[in-house]
Structure formats: structure tokens, C-alpha cells
Amino acid sequence: MSSPERDIEAVLDESGPDYDSFSYERPTAGHQGEVFMVSLKVGGETYEVVVKFQAGDPDFALEPFLHEYVADRTDVPVPRILVFKRDPELDVEPYFVTERIRGENLAASMGELDRPTRERVIAHTGRTLGDMHANIGFEGFGRLALDEDDQRLIVDEFSWDWQAFFTDLVESYIDRLADTPFADLQDQAREYIDSAIDCIESTGPPRLVHDDFRPANLLFDPTETAPITAVLDWQLALAADPEYHIARTEFLFIDPAFQDAAARNRLRKQLYDGYREHLDFDPAKGFEQRRAVYYFATLLWRMLGFEAAFDDARELAQGRAEVRFRQQFDQLATRLP
């Protein structure tokens, strides 16, 4: 019978060095799928790696491909792939092994950072987005995938029209609300998006977008000038409009996490200034309206993960969180154009 210990042992027997012993633990935040941080004892030395199993993901091969693809073309900090087994010889799911990069999970520390450290983190976040967008582009919009025949990177669900692709993306979020505590908001969400979608332009430069770019998927070292040490979980990657990525990052890192308007504006400036080290960005050209739509769409996306995020919370805490999400839904709806 499969178990984490048995599966990790099989990976090490197939792909690892001759080791004396090993131990493992699961990460406390972030990470999609079956992920384990593994420590190996080899000749008196300790080595650390990360093992990730397919866990039913049909597009599993995309993530290790993107690790190398991004690392080869940008300075975005991504863990290097040590081993990828699409068809393991032993009885385990497909897996890959990466180096383990030191750093704290940003989601666990974000609220406790002092002002200078927080500003350095946000500025580096902006530089990271700018680096992705400046160096990796595509011909059209869609989801990134690997060609089944030759494993080339392709844009799936291809569209020349950003507004059309984004509309389909948001409609998929709304459809999936049916299986969440927010199913009663589906009709309202559709009405709000239908009335606001025209402000989203159809044209734009299709760039690499990490569509799960959030504090829980970043590691950081507060002592470093460039504090972000790793960007994780690349399986939700798009060819999308850079403005969408910027606005989504603002929502997940800055607004509404900080209630003080001056703090939000200061952090936005850090984000934009970091981004501008790679690309021009002018938020004055209608961005505020489009940002409101992107914020609302990002909240719908967060609602889809509500039950997983609060699965271990007590009923009272879960209830309070649901109320906050509903209040945010109403607040963001009032900002829509």
C-alpha cells in the first residue's frame, strides 16, 4: 500500500545517492499537490531536496519544464530540477525532485514584517514580475501546456483576444462557485462581470503569468537585499496581459491586506518602481478601472479555495472568514466600472 514514506523511499532508491537514512515533512503553506521536504543523511553529511508527485495532475510535466524554462531566460529565483521521472521504474506516480532553497514562507511572515523589509519584499516582487514579462512572451493568450507529441511549450485554449480569454477564465470561476459556500453569489457575479467587462481591452502583449503568484508560494530571506529566494508552484501558468498580473499581485500582496491608504500607496509605488526596472508601466492610462475588474476576478478565484484554506479552522473562525469574503465581494462590486 502506498504511503509517503514508502513512495519517498522508492524515489530515493531509483534516483538518489546511496544514503544512510532520510526524514521528511510536508510544507506548512503554499504548494499544490503531494509535496515533501526530504532530508538525507549521506556519509555523515545532510542534504535536503524537495520531492513532488503527480497526484492526479494531467499536466504535471509542465511544472518541471517551466522551472528550467524560466531559470534559463530570467533571473526569477526558481528551484532547479534535479530529477524528473515521467515514467518511474518503481511503483510510484510520476515525480520530480528539486533543490531545496532556504527561506521562510512569505505568507506566514507578511503581517509581521517591519516597514523596510516589507518594502524590499514588494519591490523585489515588482522586479520579479517585470523580469517575467520582459523576457518571456507569446503570440497569443491562453493556458500554457506541453505539446503531447514533442513536449514543446505551447499556448492552449489559444486566443488573439485578451478580453475574450479573460471573460472565459472568470466565467469558469463563477461556474465553480456552485461547489462552494458562495454558490448564492453566482448570478450577481455574472451580472457584475457582464456590466464591467468592456473596459478590458482585447489587445495587449501576451506575457508569462504565474497565475498562482501569492505570498504562500514565495520563499524569502529578510536579511537579503533581494529577499525573495524562490517562486514555487508553476503549474497554473498563462500567456496573459501583464496588467492582469500586476493587479492580481496588488490584490494578493497589498490590497486589502493593508487598511491604511497611505501604506497601500507606498507599497504600490514600491511594486511599480521594481517593475519599471524591466518594463515601462503607466497606471494612469485607464488602469484603475481595469484593476477593479481584475480585483473582483481574483476574489472569485480566492473563493474557490475557501474550504481548503479554512478546512482546519474552527466553525466560528470559518464563519467569520466567510462573512469577510462576502463583505469584500460587495465592496469590490461597488468599485466596478
Cβ burial 312-337 (10 Å sphere, 16+ → b, else e): eeeeeebeeebeebeebbeebbeebe
Our CA dihedral for 88, 93, 97, 103, rounded to 10 degrees, sits at 180
> Does pLDDT of 258 surpass 80?
no
pLDDT in tens, 20-38: 999 999 887 655 568 999 9
Average pLDDT score over residue span 105-112:
90
Give the pLDDT confidence of 78-97 residue by residue, as tens digits.
Answer: 999 999 999 998 889 999 99
Is 308's pLDDT higher than 90? no
Query: What is the sign of the dihedral through the CA atoms of 20, 26, 30 and 33?
Result: positive
CATH number of 104-335: 3.90.1200.10
Q: Which of 82-112 are b and which e, b meaning 16 or more Cβ less than 10 Å from the residue's Cβ?
A: bebbeebeeebbbbbbbebbebebbbebbee
β-partners of residue 45 are 42
What is the Cα–Cα distance from 145 to 155, expressed in whole angstroms? 6
| pLDDT 10s digits, 133-150 | 999 999 999 999 999 888
Average pLDDT over residues 105-126: 94
Q: Is the N-terminal amide bond of 4 cis, ω within 30° of 0?
A: no
Q: What CATH number should be reported for the domain whose range is 4-99?
A: 3.30.200.20
Most confident of the following: 39-43, 184-188, 322-326:
184-188
pLDDT of residue 1: 54
Q: Where are the domains of the chain?
A: 4-99, 104-335
**DSSP character at residue 137:** B
